[in-house]
Chain A
Amino acid sequence: MKEELKKRVIKGPDGFEFEVDPLQDYYCEAPPTVQPAAYQKIVEKIFNWARSESIWILGFGTGCGAIEMRPLMTPRFDAYRFGVQWRPTPRQANLFIISGYLSTKTLKRAIRSYEQMQNPKYVIGLGSCTINGGMYWDSYNTIKRLDDYLPVDLYIAGCMPRPEALLAGFEEMKKIIRAGKAEGGNLYAENFDWYKANQKKVIHDWDMPEHSW
């Protein structure tokens, strides 16, 4: 473990001593919990419709596919027409697009961002790298199956998929959400230990809290 991550005692400016553990999340240590759907079926249906028509994407790009998301904001493709918008912070986003290969270093950030998103949350894997490693299948430094680390709702295949493919993917995603099948956040909470074990298998220098809340 790195020196700066170890538990240590720090002396405050007024002479007061206290212990600091950089790896502990001082706000909340509890693992994520399963969030039940709205009690009334019809309400949940309306909610699902609203969720499907207002998809907020986390502006987080990995790999080559990130370059394919930018044209979606331009006049040519203009994803805003379909209720798709970008949010700069994970707290407000619902959809996380992993846009290509994910090195283990980036995986850490992806996990932290994903965990900070609020339930219900969805993940789209973009490009063949997220499905089976793609052309990086034998790289020492990238993950192969995204689904082992984060619950993926939808894959968009191709190397690299065109913006049109992304638009088609959004439409597919909307269908999944409307059908009430996009429960990735709950899946993650249910199988939290399994996902954590997988993540720790590839991330050797784990230097973050167990669960970013």
Chain B
Amino acid sequence: MEFEWIKIPYSLLTLFIVINFGLLLTALIQKIGARVGRRHGIPIYQNYIDLIKNYAIRSSITHGFMFYLGPVFRLSGGVGLLLFVPTIYGSEMFSNLSFAGDLILALYFVFFGALGMALGAGESGHPHAAIGVSRGLSQMTAAELPFALAVFSVALQYQTLSVTDIVAAQQGGVLNWTLFTNPFAVTAAMFSFLGSMMRPPFDVVLAPQEIPIGPPTEYHSSYLALMQTNRVIFPVAKIVIYMNLFFGGAASWPVFFLKVFLIYMVSVFVGVAFPRFRVEQSIRWFLIWAMPLGILAIVLV
């Protein structure tokens, strides 16, 4: 396949839309969480202001080379995840840089940012960061296992590793979605989804009340702003994958916005209803409840 240069501005446009959507979406989600607690919550545009504020901080310090690269890795993990899967199915403009084996690449990108972050936070030399990293990585590994199993199951089911083909196979009615054709895989993946959205009950890693805020303890000003940008891109990118693999993809932006919001709300519903797990509890939970489902999904296919 020939590479077309026009894809680059198109992907940048996708990125732009997703960043703005993500900024508003995360604020909205926080607001919903606050409303459940009977608070009014932050203004919907608060994320923009926080971002400008963090870029505007005049001084910043560094702890070394990896400390710089941590947030950069993190951001490229989020952006890469977004750009290598088709955002809008069937649209020439927003299929981004997707290609035949992109599913494996996406799996890799999910982990990439976290690893970069771990190196950067480790270099900051703050004990809280080190504890946060070890907690985060162990929880994340446990949470990604069911997802990986589910992905393999889906890949086996459709006999392809291309996200576009998987979406194509799900077209033509709700009942064609993987959700109905392979419910075990979807359930396992959704369990893993809860674990990776950094909402309760699995947010012990980043929760400010726990070991102060975990890996980003030492990050500030523009470093933090980079990470904030990633924190709005990454969930959306992750949900895009879920949407493509399990919920039939999206053929237009309104459908995209709606589906992303609804999938995000799954983790919110669980999050406001359940208290926080400790790390070892959540790992056990993933291994006991989510893993067997993933294995079952592979066996049944």
Partner-B contacts on A (CB < 8 A): 27-28, 35-38, 46-47, 50-51, 53-54, 59, 74-75, 78, 80-81, 83, 85-89, 91-92, 94, 118-120, 185, 213
Contact = CB atoms under 8 A, between A and B. Distances in A.
B43 A118 contact: no
Contact of B218 (A51, A80, A91): A91
Nearest to B214: A88
Interface in B207-245: 208-209, 212-213, 216-221, 224
Provide the main secondary structure of the chain A interface. loop
Contacts of A46: 52
Interface string B133-170: 00000000000000000000000000000000000000
A83 B44 CA distance: 10
Given A54-B53, A118-B57, A89 B46 contact: no
Contacts, number: 86
Contacts of A120: 57-58
* Cβ-closest 6 pairs across A and B: A88-B212, A47-B56, A50-B52, A35-B58, A91-B220, A75-B38
From B38, B52, B53, name the one whose CB has the most chain A CB atoms within 10 angstroms. B53
A66 B60 CA distance: 28
A50 B55 CA distance: 10
B51 to A, nearest CB: 8
Contacts of B34: 78, 80
B121 to A, nearest CB: 12
A111 to B, nearest CB: 17
A92 B245 CA distance: 37
Nearest to B125: A27
Provide the main secondary structure of the chain B interface. loop
Nearest to B58: A35
B59 A50 contact: no
18 contacts: A28-B61, A38-B56, A47-B56, A53-B46, A59-B208, A81-B41, A83-B46, A83-B49, A88-B209, A88-B213, A89-B212, A89-B213, A92-B219, A94-B53, A118-B57, A118-B59, A118-B61, A119-B59
B117 to A, nearest CB: 16
A91 B209 CA distance: 16
Contacts of B57: 94, 118-120
Contact of B40 (A28, A36, A78, A91): A78
A174 B293 CA distance: 53
Interface residues on B, range: 20 to 34
Contacts of A92: 213, 216, 219-220, 224
Given A47-B52, A83-B46, A89-B212, A78 B39 contact: yes
A50 B49 contact: yes
B24 to A, nearest CB: 16
A51 B42 CA distance: 15
Contacts of B37: 75
B58 A83 contact: no
Contacts of B208: 59, 86-88
B280 interface: no
Contacts of B59: 35, 118-119, 185
From B46, B57, B224, name the one whose CB has the most chain A CB atoms within 10 angstroms. B57
A89 B217 contact: yes
Contacts of B224: 92
Contacts of A91: 217-220
Interface in B21-56: 34, 37-43, 46, 49-50, 52-53, 56
Contact of A80 (B40, B49, B56): B40
From A80, A85, A91, A185, name the one whose CB has the most chain B CB atoms within 10 angstroms. A91
Contacts of A35: 58-59
Nearest to A92: B220
A87 B128 CA distance: 14
Given A88-B212, A89-B217, A54 B46 contact: yes
A120 B220 CA distance: 12
A89 B38 CA distance: 27
From B39, B56, B216, B217, name the one whose CB has the most chain A CB atoms within 10 angstroms. B56
Contacts of A87: 208, 213
Contacts of A85: 42
A74 B58 CA distance: 32
A213 B56 contact: no
